[in-house]
Each structure stands twice: as structure tokens, then as C-alpha cells.
Structure 1
Amino acid sequence: MPTRQELYAAYELPDRSRSRVRMNFVESADGAATLEGRSGPLGGEGDRDLMQVLRAMADVVVVGAGTVRAEGYSSVDVAGADAGWRRTKGVEPQPAFAVVSRALNLEPDAPVFAEADRPPVVVTCAGAPTAARTALEAVAEVMVCGDGDTVDLGAMLAGFAERGWTQVLCEGGPHLFGTLLDGGLVDEVCLTIAPRFVGGSAGRIARGAPESDRRFALAHALTDDEGFVFLRYVTPSPVYAAMPSASRIV
């Protein structure tokens, strides 16, 4: 299993001053994004370690409202050595947390709000229900991105950058990933392949994006003792030009 130090070295960011969207997903070997309706059961110890490392590297963790409800999100805080890594980099002690929701179908007393050490940011649009928005403003900061009934994700990222949140980690769900992908807003995809074959009708990690040949480069492939494979795909852009070619740590 890769050590914490190996994970930090493998996922190191080439330049924190540049805005970047990094996706993190786990899927089964046959492409299922969920098992029994959730992604959590697909993961393992190495996958959970990687999630904490990626959160430690992020300025803000972004999740779609449907995934927040399905996975029972609460805090995204990091601790121990991961919090220590943030201190050495001179960044805020904890990453911010943002929930994207067009319909604002979120309960103000949900764990994501009730158990948060700092109020999350709810990203929505001008057409969101007024009553729901008012209720959430008591437990979160509501950020309006988009004049109509659709959340403008480009405006969201610009708003994050204005706050100094350049390193964006998105943990799903598939519809949010699909929208970011279709908008050309994804810089990295960190994908864990679980040694499981699920079958059934589970969807893929990206939904809603029209079919297109969107090409990424493989930065590395790591494995652990449980048979998980950790892949890091990056866009073929100048910011990654100095990175070494794909490597493997077995």
C-alpha cells in the first residue's frame, strides 16, 4: 500500500496559484459508480487514505446535493499528519466545503450543516426556491451563480478564485462531474478502481455529458495490497508539462 508520503508525492500539485478542478471517484472493475446506491462501499483503506490526502491538498471540497444526501456527508475536515501538511504549506487550517444545488433540496438540520465546524457554502442559482434559500442562509453561506434556473459552474469557480480557493476538489456526484466535463472545466481525474465486479444497473461516474472524445494523459498508476488501482489522469495542458511521465508504484 502506498505510504502517506508516497501519496503526497504522487498527487503533488505543480502550481497552487493556478485554479484547478480535480475530481475524485471510485468505481468497480466493471465500471459501477455505486454499490447498493452508494460509492462508499466500493472503497478500501487505501482509497480512504487517498481521499484524506486529496482533501488536505484542496482549498475547497465541492459535492453535489444528491451525493451529500446519498452518502450522508458531514465534515470534510482533515486531521493529524494531513492537517500538519496544510500548516507546512501555509494554507488555511481546513478546506472549505461547498454543496452545489439548483433546487436547494437540503434540510437545514442535516449533518452537513449541523456538524460543520465552519458554515458550508451552498452554490445555487437565481431561480432557486426563495423559501429554501432563506432557510439555508441560517446555516450556510449561499452563493448565487447563474441568473436563471441553472447553476453556472464557471461563475462558481471564478467566485472561488476570488476567495483564494484555487485548488478545487470535487467528490461527485456523476451529474456534477458530467456538467464540469462538458464545460471543459476538469483538469484532473483521480480514479480508484476497486477489485470488485458489481453488475446490476449502477451508473457510471460521469452522467449527462454528451458523447465526446475527451482525452486525458495518465500521470501515474499506483496499487495496494488489496488490489485497488489508483489512477491519476491530467489534461494535456502546459501546467502539467513539467510533470514526469506515467509511473507505477506497486
Structure 2
Amino acid sequence: MSEPITPLYPKPAGPRPLQGCYLEAPLAPPERRAPFVYANFVASLDGRISVPAPNGGQTVPHSIANPRDWRLLQELAGHADLLLSSGRYLRELDAGSAQDILPVGEGAAFADIRQWRAREGLAPQPDVAVFSASLDFPVPQRLLDQGRRLIVLTGDRPEAGRARRLEAAGACIVRVGSGPRPQGAALHEALAGLGYRRIYGVTGPYVLHTLLAAGVVDSLFLTTVHRMLGGKPFTTPCEGELLAAPADFRLRWLYLDAAGPDGVTQTFARYDRRTG
């Protein structure tokens, strides 16, 4: 992690450390009281974010996953009071095939992030909200043992038996929207009502589509590894029907990293939702 990164935008500058790049930067305006929703992805130069996993489902390509991007993901989690995840991730965690436990990481490498959270008055670990229509996943005791609250966001007609099972295991069921699937605007309102202010989406492209369609994504952090992968099926950060209105963003910052996977360059970008 000792290799520096180079600021390119909004103003080119001399090299700076990777560590602290996202953690030290303000996430939302200090006067912001409504929930601030943000997400991140790592993508190849041709826009791929995942490939088929050996055990089914999708996974981040090994050729673009890298510890420097992972460090920045941990820093983004450092700002959060809630992580928005998916039932699929909890199934993978239960099966032992998940990339890692949801951040913030407990190792020595991330001690500075945990210390930063303590100084900011945040809990040691952010709570977790799971976006699910089926409720077909276990409640990982590991998350509860970390002192996290587990919230399940679902539609207005969840399967009663599964809902009871999750509640008995320690989860809180929150019905959002007026259909079988949780809806973006209602989700945003429900989480605001629960007191959450910094919501970090660490889920997949279909949930991002739902949130973009509702106009509730404030910032998108995108790591682009300068490798072309190709292949099928092809998954991008936003998957689903054509959005009724494009989700417009403006570039907030851009860094160049010359120490990406196998010496490939990569860029770290932040995009903020265009308003007004």
C-alpha cells in the first residue's frame, strides 16, 4: 500500500498516499440530514464487474479484484452507519464462498478505519440491511456477534413462514413499497425513519438499478482497472430495464494508480448525482 496515487481531477497535483484518500474526504455536506446513499464498483476497461462463479451466481473477476481497491472499499464502509446488501451475499457468506465478511475489516490493516469511526462517534461496525423479495437466506450469527443490527427490506407481502424464521433468528423485517419487491423511494423513506444517515450500497447491479430509478443514489465510486476481459454473460454496474430518465452524474474527483493488478494502471473516480 506504500505506492502513492496521483490526483488528476479537479486539479492535477503531486502524488499522495492511497491510505486515507476516501476516509479523510468529506462524504456528504455537513448540513445534510436526509440519508446519503452511495455505492461502489470495480470494473474492467470494457465495463465488466463480474463473471460466472464456479458454484453458480456471479463474482468479481480475479483479474481486476485487488487489495488497493479493497482498501478504498473499506474506507467507504468507514463512513457508513448502514450497509445495504443482498440475500445472495448472506447465502454465500453462510456457504463460505463470500469474498469476505462485510466491512469494516477486523484485521490490523484496517485498525485506522475503526479508530476513525470511534472518533466520529460511530459504532464499531455499521448495521446491515438486506434487500430481498424472497427472504430465502440465513441470518449469519457472525454478523450479530459483531453487534450489528440486521434489517430485512422486503415487499408488502413477504412469505410469512420465512419472515417468522428470520425474525426468530434476530432480524428485523421492514416492509417497503406496495408490491412484492422493495421499492427504492419507500426504502429510502423507511431507512430515514430508522435514523440512518450514511447508507453504503455493497450489493449488485439490479439493486443499484432500483435505487437509480428512484433517484436516491447520491454518489457512485468507480474503480476502473485498465484491462479488457470480454466474455459472456456481460454484467455492468446497472442492470435492468432502460431507466425512464437517465441518472445524471458529474465527476467529483479522479486519481491515477500506477500500482494496480500486475502493474496495470487503474483509476479511482467519484461521481456525484447532478441536481438542479
TM-score, structure 2 normalization: 0.77
C-alpha contact 1:63 1:100 (8 A) present in aligned 2? yes
* Residue 88 (structure 2) aligned to one of 32, 44, 66: 66
Within 5 Å, give how 1:226-245 maps onto structure 2: 226=260, 227-237=265-275
Within 5 Å, give how 1:91-240 maps onto structure 2: 91-108=122-139, 113-116=140-143, 117=146, 118-139=148-169, 140-201=171-232, 202-211=234-243, 212-224=245-257, 225-226=259-260, 227-237=265-275
- AA matched with 1:43: A
Aligned-pair identity in percent equals: 26
Query: Cα offset for 1:105?
Result: 1.7
Higher mean C-alpha deviation, range 90-99 or range 47-56 = 90-99
TM-aligned CA distance change 1:33 to 1:58, over 3 Å: same
Structure 2: give runs of 5+ residues left out of the alignment. Answer: 5-16, 53-57
| Structure 2 CA distance for aligned equivalents of residues 32 and 11 of structure 1 | 29
Aligned length: 234
TM-aligned CA distance change 1:230 to 1:175, over 3 Å: same
In the alignment, what sits opposite 2:24? 9
TM-aligned CA distance change 1:164 to 1:129, over 3 Å: same
Structure 1: give runs of 5+ residues left out of the alignment. Answer: 239-250
Q: Which has the larger radius of gyration?
A: 2
C-alpha contact 1:219 1:233 (8 A) present in aligned 2? yes
- AA matched with 1:60: L
In the alignment, what sits opposite 2:59? 38
- AA matched with 2:248: R
| Structure 2 CA distance for aligned equivalents of residues 115 and 93 of structure 1 | 14
- AA matched with 1:13: A
In the alignment, what sits opposite 2:39? 23
TM-aligned CA distance change 1:89 to 1:102, over 3 Å: same
| Structure 2 CA distance for aligned equivalents of residues 235 and 223 of structure 1 | 22
- AA matched with 1:19: P
Q: CA RMSD in A?
A: 2.1
| Structure 2 CA distance for aligned equivalents of residues 158 and 213 of structure 1 | 22
